[in-house]
Structure 1
Amino acid sequence: MTQAATVVDIDAVPAVGDLAPDFELLNQFGEPVKLSELRGRNVVLVFFPFAFSGICTGELCEIRDNLALFEDADAVVLGISVDSKFAQRAYAEKEGYSFDLLADFWPHGAVAGQYGVLDAESGMAKRGTFVIDADGVVRYVVVNPRGQARDFTGYRAALAGLGRS
C-alpha cells in the first residue's frame, strides 16, 4: 500500500478550488481506501484527533445520526485519525458508525500532513473538514482550533452547494 503525496508542503491546507491531494489508507476493516477511486462521488473528509475522545465522539455521532444528509448529496464520509485500524474498528463498532474510519497511523499522520492538519507537536490530527466534489476539487474547508467542535450547519451549507452526480 502506498500513501501517494501530491502536496509537498505539509503545512499548507488545500484551499477551495484546489485538487484534493490523493491518498490511500486502510479503513477499520483493513481494506484500502484510495481517494481518487471515489471520483464521480462527493467526499467529506473529517479529520479528528483521536478515537474515543469526547468531542470527536460527539462530532462523529452527529454525522452518524444525520447520515441521510450526506447520502442525499451522494457524499461518502471518511473519518480520519492517527489511530490504528484496530482502534478505528473498535471505535466504529462501539459507536455504530457505518461510514469508514481511516487509519493515518503509519507513516504517522502522513495524510493529515498532506492536508495541513497534522499537529506535529502533539502527534494528532486537528479538526479539519474537507468537502470534495465528484471531480476531486475541494469545495469547502474548515479547520477548528483544539478543543472546539465543528458546527454541523457547515456541513449542511457545503453539501447544499454540491451537484449530485
Structure 2
Amino acid sequence: MPEPIPVGSVAPDFVLRDQNNQEVALTALREKGPVLAVFFPLAFTGTCEGELGYIRDHLPQFDGDRLSTVAISVGAPPTHKVWSSSQGFLFPILSDFWPHGRVAADYGVFDDVRGIPNRGTFLIGSDGAVLFSAMVGPGEARTVDTWDAALGAIPEL
C-alpha cells in the first residue's frame, strides 16, 4: 500500500477542476488559510457519500474563516456535478481525472492497482506545510476521530 506524505512535508501544489468545471488552485486557497484536502475513491459509493456527508452536515467546521475543504477523486467534473448536486455538497469536489490520479500519487495515496485514490486526509497550512496526514485503505472509512484530529491540527489564530 502506498505511504501518504508525512507531516512537515511541503504539500504538492495542484490546479484541478471542480464540479462546476472551474479551476481551483491550492495556492489560491492557502491565501485564505489552511486547507483540508480529502481524497476519496469514487463518487456514488456508500462510504464516500457517508464521509463527505459528514463534512456537509458539519460544514461550519470545515469551511469558513479558519479553513477551506476540498474533496479530490479521479472522477470527471460532470460526474462530480451530478453527485454533489444530489447530495447537497457545497464544497469543491475536485477532479484528478487527467493525468489520471497524478495529484493523489503526488500525495502518496494513489492505488495504482485499482486506479483510484485511497482515503487520504491532509491539513495543509497557509505556508504549504502538511500539518496533518492520514490514510485508510480500500474498504476502510475515516472515523470521527480522524476528522477531529485533522481539525485539531489547525493553528490558532
TM superposition score category, shorter chain reference = over 0.9
Structure 2 residues without counterparts, runs of 5 or longer:
none
Please tell me the residue identity of whatever aligns with 2:115: G
Q: Post-superposition shift, 1:72? A: 5.5
Of 60, 65, 88 in structure 1, the residue corresponding to residue 57 of structure 2 is 65
Q: Post-superposition shift, 1:145? A: 1.5
What's the CA shift string for 1:50-102, capped at 9, x where partnerless? 00001000000011001111235611111000000000101100000000000
What's the CA shift string for 1:80-133, capped at 9, x where partnerless? 000000001011000000000001111111111111111111111111110111
Q: Post-superposition shift, 1:134? A: 1.7
Contact 2:18 2:92 in 1 (8 A): yes
Contact 1:73 1:164 in 2 (8 A): no
Contact 1:73 1:163 in 2 (8 A): no
Of 5, 27, 31 in structure 2, the residue corresponding to residue 14 of structure 1 is 5
* SS of 1:69 mapped into structure 2: helix
* SS of 1:78 mapped into structure 2: strand
Of 45, 48, 54 in structure 2, the residue corresponding to residue 53 of structure 1 is 45
Contact 1:80 1:103 in 2 (8 A): yes
Runs of 4+ in 1 over 3 A off after TM superposition: none
Q: Equivalent pairs: percent with the same residue?
A: 40
* SS of 1:129 mapped into structure 2: strand
Contact 1:73 1:159 in 2 (8 A): no
**Is 1:149 matched up with 2:141?**
yes
What's the CA shift string for 1:139-162, capped at 9, x where partnerless? 111110211100122222322232
Contact 2:122 2:150 in 1 (8 A): no
* SS of 2:132 mapped into structure 1: strand
**Is 1:96 matched up with 2:104?**
no
Cα RMSD (Å): 1.5
* SS of 1:147 mapped into structure 2: coil
2:119 & 2:150 partners in 1: Cα distance?
A: 16
2:30 & 2:55 partners in 1: Cα distance?
A: 22
Identify the residue that residue 26 of structure 2 maps to in structure 1. 35
